[in-house]
């Protein structure tokens, strides 16, 4: 059975990741697992990076000391990760999900998630806050890399959890967009929430037909769905829709056509992952 996989790292978003993952697991009827990854960041100096800059006499002793420090850091990181996983598991139990699984991996987060993708129904990740540098919550490059690499759905939990009451589907009429709408219609994840369907671009016969198809698909699945057709820059229109209608969750495809595909994942999807006022659910 495929799991909801929550990636916890001890950052300020960890509680939100845990709570959104608990909610998703309950809605999907799926097992919940927490993942902690110990990644040795390449931008940090390692012991072997200094081999060419040490004197011949000092090198063996210093290299041994540096290697010892690396081992100590690794042991501490693993122990902190185990404690973090225990706390996440206890938080899930307090919310009503007993027996959540835990996993710990070495290496890049993307590689760990790719390894676990066959048993992953939904991956839940959080952003890192950079309050002093930027006015909004920005996802770090690693989360963007996960969205690029995985075929499984990804939920970017960008704010503390509150039970969502509404969601906005960003639809562009593409094959990917149609698969996304079908997935929303068939899944229990968003069942019972108010739906808003946003089609960005000028009103044409084709866009009206596409919008009507998506609207009927969601209504036939039992959603109370409101349709909005708005021209403008997709990232600006969608963000404004989220803010104006107090949307709790933005649902998007990772790839699309027409205006949303202009720069593939480097444009609209990435911008909204970084700046959306609501958490973003990415569906392939």
Secondary structure (DSSP) of 16-46: HHHHHHHHHHHHHT--EEEEEEE---TTS--
pLDDT on residue 119: 97
The answer, yes or no, to whether residue 219 has pLDDT greater than 70, is yes
62 and 90 both lie in a single domain: yes
111 and 21 both lie in a single domain: yes
191 and 259 both lie in a single domain: yes
Q: Which structural domain range is residue 249 located in?
A: 164-283
Question: What's the whole-number mean pLDDT along residues 81-109?
Answer: 95
Condensed to tens digits (0 to 9), the pLDDT of residues 161-173 reads 999 999 999 998 8
190 and 177 both lie in a single domain: yes
pLDDT on residue 282: 93
129 and 190 both lie in a single domain: no
Domain count, the chain: 2
Task: Out of 115, 144, 162, pick the residue that ends a domain.
Answer: 162
pLDDT on residue 131: 41
The answer, yes or no, to whether residue 253 has pLDDT greater than 60, is yes
pLDDT on residue 54: 44
pLDDT on residue 128: 52
Task: Out of 114, 135, 162, pick the residue that ends a domain.
Answer: 162
26 and 79 both lie in a single domain: yes
Model pTM?
A: 0.83
153 and 246 both lie in a single domain: no
Which carries the bigger pLDDT value, residue 134 or residue 83?
Answer: 83
Signed CA dihedral, 26, 224, 183, 18: sign only: negative
9 and 104 both lie in a single domain: yes
CB contact set of 59 (below 8 Å; sequence gap of 6+): 51
CATH of the domain at 211: 3.40.50.620
158 and 19 both lie in a single domain: yes
139 and 103 both lie in a single domain: yes
Strand order in the sheet with 120-125: 101-106, 32-38, 3-7, 120-125, 154-156, 280-283, 250-253, 166-171, 194-200, 225-230
Condensed to tens digits (0 to 9), the pLDDT of residues 7-26 reads 999 888 999 999 999 999 99
148 and 257 both lie in a single domain: no
pLDDT on residue 261: 46
Task: Out of 104, 130, 162, pick the residue that ends a domain.
Answer: 162
Least confident piece of the model among 178-187, 216-225, 271-280: 271-280
Which carries the bigger pLDDT value, residue 240 or residue 52?
Answer: 240
214 and 264 both lie in a single domain: yes
Condensed to tens digits (0 to 9), the pLDDT of residues 110-140 reads 999 999 999 999 999 997 544 444 333 334 5
């Amino acid at each position: 059975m495929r799991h909801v996989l929550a990636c916890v790292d001890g950052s300020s978003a960890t509680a939100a990741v845990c709570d959104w993952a608990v909610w998703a697991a309950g809605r999907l009827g799926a097992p919940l697992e927490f993942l902690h990854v110990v990644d040795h960041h390449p931008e940090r100096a390692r012991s072997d990076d200094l081999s060419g800059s040490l004197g011949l006499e000092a090198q063996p002793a210093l290299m041994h000391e540096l290697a010892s420090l690396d081992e100590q850091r690794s042991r501490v990181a693993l122990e902190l990760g185990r404690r973090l996983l225990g706390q996440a598991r206890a938080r899930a139990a307090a919310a009503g999900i007993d027996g959540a699984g835990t996993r710990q991996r070495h290496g890049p987060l993307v590689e760990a998630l790719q390894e676990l993708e066959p048993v992953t129904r939904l991956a839940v990740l959080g952003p890192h806050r950079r309050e002093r540098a930027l006015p909004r919550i920005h996802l770090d490059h690693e989360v963007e890399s996960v969205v690029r690499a995985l075929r499984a759905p990804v939920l970017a939990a960008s704010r503390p959890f509150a039970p969502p009451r509404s969601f906005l589907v960003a639809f562009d009429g593409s094959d990917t967009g149609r698969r996304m709408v079908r997935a929303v219609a068939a899944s229990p994840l968003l069942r019972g929430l108010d739906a808003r369907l946003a089609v960005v671009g000028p009103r044409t016969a084709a866009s009206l037909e596409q919008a009507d198809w998506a609207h009927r698909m969601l209504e036939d699945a039992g959603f109370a769905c409101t349709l909005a057709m708005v021209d403008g820059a997709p990232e600006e229109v969608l963000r404004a829709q989220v803010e104006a209608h107090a949307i709790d969750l933005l649902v998007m495809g990772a790839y699309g056509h027409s205006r949303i595909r202009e720069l593939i994942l480097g444009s609209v999807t990435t911008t909204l992952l970084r700046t959306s006022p609501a958490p973003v659910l990415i569906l392939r």
